[in-house]
């Protein structure tokens, strides 16, 4: 857990080597792009190599040093082949690297990106701190960090591949684990856990910020519009700040002291449009690493669809195909974006764009009152959760597929099918070849068993009126986006159509047991709407002739738009919660030194479980707050845990069937169960006792 200096250096060298290999491989593939763009794609490629290459070799060698050595050799081979090709074709590989820094001098708004990167890096290290032999986290990581640590440490310590849940031994880990395996690779080499956890996150954060800025810049063209879209997305917030005004000083200061009472996350008033940095990128590693791939892929697809760069369809397909086991929601969102752009691309080719845009704008205008009425109707009849909603959206998807078929048929009659096959066909083929094995091996198994896909209307609107919910959650940004959709030109509207597709699907279908998790789809649509809103924002401001007045108004409105996010991020910066004390860390040190890597330890089902999170060992049953939302069958194990603590002598069959080799008895277990401590002492041998925590070794006689 503490690692060593040698291990830290080895991990940094490994991470750096893969980054260099990624840069070397990506540079020749993007000869016409700027140095900064090529550097970004090289960094993304390096991270993907470190995520995927060890996993490929782990099928044969386990998640071992040997698999990583082979992965490094493969990465070096890819880099070498790319460099050789660049020399053969006279493509410069590294000669333009110094120009990347020059972009900051040429584009003043680009300086926003390193500022956000620096603050994010601070939050990453602030959210996982060792102090006085204790571990502290911040508000947003208090819930999810222990789960991610259990994935990281168990994969590195047990080296089983395909990995299994240490929270539910024997069950294949179908969560998109590549967002954590990249840290497992560093931890495997002996790096401190904190460094292993934080280093890839810092790189991924930079990839997200630079990738989003690059995509927004290409979409909008204007630096001012790009900066506004960037701020609207990463400093998102609505009208939640008004709940903290008035009522005395304490009403406002509780933003910085209470647990999850912030202007962007205040469940009591149904403020659920959480800030993407504080509540998505920081605690949800799969989202972070997924967006690190998603935004560069959107850039490639935009260049391919709207700027005629045909080779980018293949590159985009490869990146898309790598997404499912990094972040499945990003893969699904990307598929919906591609679907929307494909239909509009065909309409444009067939000269049907005017009609399609008119129909789309009509749907936007009519959609708001229709959704409001539908929300009231479904709530009145108790049908907000209904399989009929799934049937309805399935019919809509089927109708869209029929429409797509007709468009393709018309394109074929006009001799356009070969051009479509060379672009969209290549994209689909590359993505499917890489993605389908992942989906069948991991995703579909768990989704089917956990009944992930179900009909549900209105995301987490709850008892609120549909329009009021989104108005108070999205705030002025939502109004700007709506007005932008109505007033924008047809070519611009075509770029934003995928946002409507995503929103429609996400409002009728949920893809995880947790209603809240549909925001992982919605935020991708919101990114497009931020571009639309920023465009309308500056179109209106440019009507003011006096430059000084225009700039003052722009600054004031921007400050109002980002204020809720600034307060929320300030809360994260000052928050501090002890998640593991000195006793837990001492126990983990003993466990790591004395227990075999595959040991199964009986504990209670708390979420901050040091045995699986820090020591990387298995527990009989982890926290239901994790297992339920992963759709896992944990109820039998949860019952067995209680029986083994409260009736040890009568539950020896449970000890045997769950392969328990050690039992932990601490204040957590005594507060969770009526533990028969005398029976535990009589049946098992104490091997660790610090006065608060007792660890028993289980040695059952074989029948």
Structure-block tokens of residue 240: 């939640």
Task: Locate 450 and state its tokens.
Answer: 């956990």
Q: How confident is the model at residue 552 (pLDDT cuts 50, 70, 90)?
A: very high
CB-CB contact of 663 with 676 (8 Å):
no
Q: What is the pLDDT of residue 493?
A: 95
> Of 91-105, 353-367, 437-451, 513-527, which range is least confident?
91-105
Q: Which are the contacts of 429, defined by CB distance < 8 A and separation ≥ 6?
A: 317
pLDDT of residue 106: 74
Give the pLDDT band (50/70/90) at residue 621: very high
Q: Is residue 112 scored above 50 in pLDDT?
A: yes
Neighbours of 40 (CB within 10 A): 26
Summarize the confidence of residues 540-549 as an average pLDDT. 89
- 335 pLDDT more than 60: yes
Distance CA 556, CA 523 (A): 25
* Contact call for residues 72 and 17 (beta carbons, < 8 A): yes
Paired residues of 129 in beta bridges: 136
Instruction: Annotate 243-272 with b (16+ C-beta within 10 A) or e (fewer).
Output: bbeeeeeeeeeebeeeebbbbbbbeeebbb
In whole numbers, what is the pLDDT of the chain averaged over residues? Answer: 93
Share of the chain above pLDDT 70, in %: 96
703 confidence band (pLDDT: 50, 70, 90): very low
Q: Which residues of 367-390 are buried (b: 16+ CB within 10 A; e: fewer)?
A: beeebbebbeebbeeeebebeebb
What pLDDT does residue 448 have? 59
**Residue 626 reports pLDDT greater than 60:** yes
Please give the structure tokens belonging to residue 560: 């109002």
CA dihedral 81, 87, 93, 98 (to 10 degrees): 160
- Ranking 80-84, 123-127, 482-486, 566-570 by mean pLDDT, the lowest is 80-84
Give the span between the Cα atoms of 610 and 614, in whole angstroms: 5
CA distances from 253 to 189, 248, 271, 567 (A): 44, 9, 18, 10
DSSP H or E segment with residue 687: strand 685-689
Query: Which residue is associated with the tokens 């309308």?
Result: 536
Q: What is the SS3 assignment for 489-554?
A: CHHHHHHHHHHHHHHHHHHHEECCCCHHHHHHHHHHHHHHHHHHHHHHHHHHHCCCCCHHHHHHHH
Q: What is the pLDDT of residues 156-186, one digit of tens each?
A: 999 999 999 999 999 999 899 999 999 999 9
Provide the percentage of residues in the chain whose pLDDT is more than 90: 85
Task: Summarize pLDDT for 274-290 with one digit per residue, the tens.
Answer: 999 999 999 999 999 99
Q: Per DSSP, what are the bridge partners of residue 694?
A: 665, 689
450-475: average pLDDT? 91
- Which pLDDT tens digit goes with each residue over 673-694? 999 999 999 999 999 999 999 9
DSSP letters for 418-450: HHHIIIIIHHHHHHHHHHHHHIIIIIHHHHHHT
Instruction: Give the pLDDT confidence score for residue 91 in this predicted structure.
Output: 44
pLDDT for residue 109? 82
**567: pLDDT strictly greater than 70:** yes
Q: Say how many residues make up the chain.
A: 703
pLDDT one-digit tens code per residue, 45-104: 999 999 999 999 999 999 999 999 999 999 999 999 988 876 645 444 455 666 666 676
pLDDT in tens, 136-148: 999 999 999 999 9
- Residue pair 301/341 in contact (Cβ under 8 Å)? The answer is yes
Q: Per-residue pLDDT tens for 365-380?
A: 999 999 999 999 999 9
Q: What is the pLDDT of residue 90?
A: 43
3-state secondary structure of 580: strand
CB 486 within 8 A of CB 535: no
**Alpha carbon distances (Å) from 169 to 157, 164, 172, 472, 637:** 14, 6, 8, 43, 10
The pLDDT of residue 246 is 85
| Total Cβ atoms within 10 A of residue 674 | 9
């Amino acid at each position: 857990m503490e690692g060593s200096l040698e291990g830290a250096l080895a991990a940094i060298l490994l991470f750096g080597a893969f980054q260099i290999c990624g840069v070397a491989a990506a540079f020749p593939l993007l000869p016409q792009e700027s140095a900064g763009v090529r550097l970004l794609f090289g960094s993304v490629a390096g991270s993907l190599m470190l995520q995927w290459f060890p996993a490929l070799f782990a099928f044969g060698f386990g998640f071992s040093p040997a698999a990583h050595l082979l992965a490094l050799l493969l990465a070096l081979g890819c880099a070498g082949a790319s460099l050789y090709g660049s020399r053969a074709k006279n493509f410069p590989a590294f000669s333009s690297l110094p120009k990347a820094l020059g972009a900051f001098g040429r584009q003043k708004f680009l300086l926003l990106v390193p500022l956000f990167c620096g603050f994010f890096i601070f939050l990453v290290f602030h959210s996982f701190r060792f102090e006085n032999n204790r571990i502290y986290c911040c508000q947003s990581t208090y819930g999810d960090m222990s789960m991610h640590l259990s994935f990281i440490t168990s994969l590195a310590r047990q080296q089983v591949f395909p990995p299994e849940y240490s929270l539910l031994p024997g069950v294949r880990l179908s969560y998109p684990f590549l967002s954590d395996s990249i840290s497992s690779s560093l931890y495997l080499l002996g790096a401190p856990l904190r460094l292993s956890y934080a280093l890839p996150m810092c790189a991924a954060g930079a990839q997200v910020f630079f990738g989003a800025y690059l995509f927004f810049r290409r979409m909008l063209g204007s630096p001012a519009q790009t900066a506004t879209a960037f701020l609207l997305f990463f400093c998102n917030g609505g009208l939640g700040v008004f709940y903290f005004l008035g009522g005395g000083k304490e009403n406002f200061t509780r933003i910085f002291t209470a647990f999850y009472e912030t202007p962007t996350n205040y469940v009591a008033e149904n403020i659920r449009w959480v800030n993407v940095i504080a509540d998505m990128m920081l605690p949800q590693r799969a989202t972070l690493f997924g967006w690190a791939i998603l935004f560069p892929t959107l850039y490639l697809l935009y260049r391919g669809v709207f700027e005629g760069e045909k080779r980018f369809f293949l590159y985009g397909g490869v990146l898309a195909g790598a997404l499912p086991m990094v972040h499945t929601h990003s893969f699904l969102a990307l598929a919906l974006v591609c679907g929307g752009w494909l239909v509009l691309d065909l309409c444009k080719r067939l000269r049907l764009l005017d009609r399609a845009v008119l129909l789309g704008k009509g749907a936007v205008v009519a959609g708001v009152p229709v959704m409001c009425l539908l929300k009231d109707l479904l709530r009145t009849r108790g049908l907000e959760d209904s399989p009929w909603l799934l049937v309805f959206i399935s019919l809509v998807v089927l109708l869209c597929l029929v429409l797509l078929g007709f468009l393709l048929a018309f394109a074929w009659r006009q001799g356009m099918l070969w051009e479509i096959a060379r672009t969209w066909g290549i994209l689909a083929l590359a993505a499917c070849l890489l993605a389908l094995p992942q989906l069948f091996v991991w995703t579909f198994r768990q989704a089917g068993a956990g009944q992930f896909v179900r009909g549900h209307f209105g995301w987490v609107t709850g008892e609120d009126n549909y329009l009021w919910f989104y108005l108070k959650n999205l705030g002025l940004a939502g109004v700007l986006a709506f007005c932008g959709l109505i007033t924008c030109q047809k070519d611009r509207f075509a770029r934003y159509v995928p946002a409507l597709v995503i929103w429609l699907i996400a409002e009728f279908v949920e893809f995880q047991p947790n209603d809240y998790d549909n925001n992982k789809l919605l935020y991708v649509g919101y990114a497009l709407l931020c571009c639309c809103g920023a465009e309308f924002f500056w179109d209106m401001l440019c009507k003011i002739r006096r430059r000084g007045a225009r700039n003052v108004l722009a600054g004031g409105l921007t400050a109002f738009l980002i204020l809720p996010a600034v307060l929320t991020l300030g809360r994260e910066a000052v928050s501090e919660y002890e998640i593991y004390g000195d006793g837990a860390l001492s126990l983990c040190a003993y466990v790591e030194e004395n227990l075999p890597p595959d040991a199964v330890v009986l504990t209670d089902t708390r979420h901050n479980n040091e045995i699986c999170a820090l020591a990387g060992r298995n527990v009989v049953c982890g926290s239901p707050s994790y297992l339920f939302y992963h759709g896992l069958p944990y109820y039998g194990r949860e019952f067995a845990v209680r029986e083994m603590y409260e009736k040890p002598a009568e539950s020896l069959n449970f000890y045997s069937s769950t392969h328990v080799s050690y039992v932990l008895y601490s204040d957590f277990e005594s507060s969770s169960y009526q533990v028969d401590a005398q029976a535990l002492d009589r049946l098992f041998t104490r091997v660790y006792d610090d006065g608060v925590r007792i660890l028993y070794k289980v040695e059952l006689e074989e029948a």
